[in-house]
Amino acid sequence: MPDKKKRVAVIGAGAAGMSCAATLAAHPDKFDVTVFETAQHIGGQATSIDLDTHKYGASWLNDGVQGGSGIFRHTFNFFRRYGYSPQEVKLQVSFGKGMDNFWTNVFPSPLVDKCSAEIKKLGKVLKWVKYTLPITGILPVSVLLKLCRFSTDFSNKMVLPLLALFLGTGNQTPNVPAGLLERLFDDPNMSLWEYDPDTLLPNLPAMHTFPNLGAFYRDWTEDLRSKGVTFRIHCEVEIVQRDKKKVVLRTKRNKIDEHEREQSNVTELLSDTNSEEVMEEEFDELVLCTQAEDTLKLLGRHATWREKWVLGGARYYNDITVTHSDAKYFQSIFESHYRDELCAEPTSKERKDQISFATSKPQRREDGWIGFQPMYYTHAYPTHPDRIEMGFDCTNYQYQFRESLEDGSSPLEHDRHVFQTIFLNDAEKHLWTIDDIKDDKVIERKWWRQLGHRWQHYLRVVPGVMFINGKNHTLFGGSWTLVNMHEVACVSGIAAAYRLGATYDAFDEFATDFFSKYLLLAHGVRYKGSKK
């Protein structure tokens, strides 16, 4: 008689939940999988919105997650399974406003020259942090910078904005552990670029922009459905019983209006949500792939003291992303065009070449633009220099805006660009410049609950996850278990499935190394296929 299939409930249909379901679905003889999602769409923060092609030059925009570096091997592997590919782009950044505050990785600036000695010093400090990681790694970045006597200009204008923008740590960056800064440059599994002793950030490093995430998650969902995975979308979940014997869930399907149905990337899954439906179901295993604070609410009275301690250590903040086309506003707070006064003296051939590139007539090429066409921006408040607003020129960054243009073509007029400005932590909204964006230029406003990567997170939450994973038939997934990256979310879901008995697809040596390290850190389990 064949073994009974395990009934697995996966709560959360973001990157972690979908990765877990996909890994389990590879074993239809072993697992019966049901995915629950409270929202009316699949993908979590990885969402897309529709655009007017005639007006903006593209029909869609990724408005939550936009891209990543070459380390995102599991993410890219899922993309390619369904015919989607990440597109390489040469990264251009623009940090700060005005000659005394501005720097970029495209051409030399006075600020970089002024901080030259401190940039080199930071390299030495990062090595020191690496070799004393258990002790110095937990220090807040702001404390480390003060202890090592770095200037306020270097700290607030270069280090903190760089860390905030690329790791999504926002205005909690001063409280981020120093070990995360060191890992950003030195960890082969996490580093986004190599440390440059002359300019801090390398000149035009390669990044990757994501494909249409709404379409990708729709196709991913349809494939998993064809493999037997059940999806319950726009569904509230309550844990009725969770112990060493079983898990019982009470679920309620919510009604959905026509506007929500039109906006969903999985409308076909919502066809039967015309009436509310309450039911109780029994499962053998539970995988919680929701934000830590939501996971704690779900567990409610069933949460153990360990789970309360670990999950309660994660802190979240309310951020809002405004997608808009207000070029005048964008230029008023960010440096989006080359100006001679922003450039330092061309004291070497390398610098002359960089300036020549930056001052060239903007032209399209396969991996971005020739000429100064920044994608990532930060702006510090004059009264609070350690607080920033973040911005993206999505037209320069996301590849679909270049697809209709030939190499050598000029970019779209700036008034046709699609921008995003991200305002951080609504407790500090008195600092925001959000009211300066013209209402008729706003395409969409979207609120997020953003994880704050405080040093306490790495002292309490990250090392504590292994002690709650696997207890009472419950496993945990999500980027909050390590660092807020789409790749980490994917790996966390795969790791949860592996713990339940699924096979890990060792498709890439680098990816396998990352997976095995994550599995050991978050589950206290060694990957059996690992040679180490």
Domain of 264, CATH number, reads 3.50.50.60
Tokens of 111: 């600020």
User: In the block, which residue shows the tokens 């590139």?
Assistant: 357
- The confidence band for 263, taking pLDDT boundaries of 50, 70 and 90, is low
Asked if residue 386 belongs to a domain, the reply is yes
> Using CA atoms, how far apart are residues 434 and 174, in angstroms rounded to an integer?
23
Which residues, 6+ apart, have CB-to-CB distance to 268 below 8 Å? Answer: 222
Q: pLDDT tens for residues 470-505?
A: 999 999 999 999 998 999 999 999 999 999 999 999
Tokens of 40: 């009316």
- State whether 298 and 420 are in the same domain: no
- State whether 417 and 326 are in the same domain: yes
- State whether 340 and 433 are in the same domain: yes
Count of domains for the chain: 2
- State whether 424 and 493 are in the same domain: no
Asked if residue 221 belongs to a domain, the reply is yes
Q: What's the pLDDT score for residue 256?
A: 63
Q: What's the pLDDT score for residue 443?
A: 97
Yes or no: say if 419 and 392 are a contact pair by the CB < 8 Å rule. yes
In degrees and rounded to multiples of 5, residue 115 shows phi and psi of -100, 15
Out of 427, 447, 467, a domain closes at 447
Tokens of 371: 């000429």
Output the pTM of the full model.
0.93
Q: pLDDT tens for residues 372-384?
A: 999 999 999 999 9
Burial class (CB in 10 A: 0-12, 13-18, 19+), 480: buried
Out of 431, 447, 463, a domain closes at 447
Asked if residue 271 belongs to a domain, the reply is yes
Which run of H or E residues covers position 330?
Answer: helix 327-333
For the segment 397-421, the average pLDDT, to the nearest whole number, is: 90
Q: What's the pLDDT score for residue 135?
A: 86
- State whether 414 and 465 are in the same domain: no
Q: pLDDT tens for residues 111-158?
A: 999 999 999 999 999 999 999 988 888 999 999 999 999 999 999 999
- State whether 402 and 495 are in the same domain: no
Instruction: Kindly tell me if the per-residue pLDDT of 532 is higher than 50.
Output: no
Task: Round the CA-based radius of gyration of the chain to a whole number and report it.
Answer: 23
- State whether 336 and 280 are in the same domain: no
Reduced to 3 states, what is the DSSP secondary structure of residue 54?
helix
Burial class (CB in 10 A: 0-12, 13-18, 19+), 396: buried
Tokens of 362: 């903007």
Q: pLDDT tens for residues 312-347?
A: 999 999 999 999 999 999 999 999 999 999 999 999
- State whether 321 and 431 are in the same domain: yes
Q: What's the pLDDT score for residue 404?
A: 79
Q: pLDDT tens for residues 171-225?
A: 888 999 999 888 888 877 667 778 899 999 999 999 999 999 999 999 999 999 9
Instruction: Kindly tell me if the per-residue pLDDT of 50 is higher than 80.
Output: yes
Tokens of 85: 């590919």
- The confidence band for 270, taking pLDDT boundaries of 50, 70 and 90, is low
Q: What range defines the domain where residue 368 resides?
A: 93-110+151-172+317-447
CA 72 to chain centroid: 11
Dihedral sign of CA atoms 381, 393, 112, 199 in order: positive
User: In the block, which residue shows the tokens 């953003």?
Assistant: 450
Around 159, how many Cα atoms within 13 Å sit in the side-chain half-sphere? 32
- The confidence band for 276, taking pLDDT boundaries of 50, 70 and 90, is low
Q: What's the pLDDT score for residue 272?
A: 47
Out of 447, 470, 494, a domain closes at 447
- State whether 301 and 393 are in the same domain: no
- State whether 248 and 336 are in the same domain: no
In degrees and rounded to multiples of 5, residue 417 shows phi and psi of -70, 150
For the segment 2-15, the average pLDDT, to the nearest whole number, is: 91
Asked if residue 200 belongs to a domain, the reply is no
CA 343 to chain centroid: 31
Instruction: Kindly tell me if the per-residue pLDDT of 448 is higher than 60.
Output: yes
Asked if residue 191 belongs to a domain, the reply is no
Residue 495's nearest CA partner among 457, 462, 527 is 527
- State whether 464 and 515 are in the same domain: yes
Instruction: Kindly tell me if the per-residue pLDDT of 1 is higher than 50.
Output: no
Asked if residue 73 belongs to a domain, the reply is no
- State whether 441 and 510 are in the same domain: no
In degrees and rounded to multiples of 5, residue 85 shows phi and psi of -135, 135
Asked if residue 104 belongs to a domain, the reply is yes
Q: What's the pLDDT score for residue 405?
A: 85
- The confidence band for 258, taking pLDDT boundaries of 50, 70 and 90, is low
Measured at the CA of 237, the angle between CA 235 and CA 243, to 5 degrees, comes to: 155
Instruction: Kindly tell me if the per-residue pLDDT of 271 is higher than 80.
Output: no
The whole-chain average pLDDT of the chain stands at 92
Yes or no: say if 334 and 435 are a contact pair by the CB < 8 Å rule. no
Asked if residue 117 belongs to a domain, the reply is no
